[in-house]
């Protein structure tokens, strides 16, 4: 089932399915490519940004970026 990354509230591992939006290039360039496993680590005090682990490193995403990442359960 497709889930938008920004809507996941628990810490879990998911698989990237697709990147959408007008500017997908940079997210892809940062290594968030379809098929890769991504771990939601935590959220900041007001919910955003959210911290994810991808390809072994940690990345902070604001809501506008997290909305562009479509994932699915592993």
Question: Which parts of this chain interact with another protein (CB under 8 A)?
Answer: 19, 22-31, 33-34, 41-49, 51, 55-62, 64-65
CB atoms < 10 A from the CB of 51, how many? 15
Nearer to another protein, 56 or 74 (CB): 56
**Residue 45 Cα distances to 24, 42, 50, 60, 63, angstroms:** 26, 10, 10, 13, 13
Nearer to another protein, 3 or 53 (CB): 53
Least Å from the CB of residue 62 to another protein: 5
């Amino acid at each position: 089932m497709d889930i938008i990354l920004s809507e996941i509230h628990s810490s879990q591992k998911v698989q990237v399915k697709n990147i959408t939006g007008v500017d997908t290039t940079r997210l892809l360039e940062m290594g968030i490519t379809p098929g890769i496993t991504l771990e939601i680590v935590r959220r900041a005090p007001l919910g955003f940004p959210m911290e994810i682990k991808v390809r072994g490193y940690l990345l902070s995403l604001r809501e506008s970026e997290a909305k562009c990442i479509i994932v699915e359960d592993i």
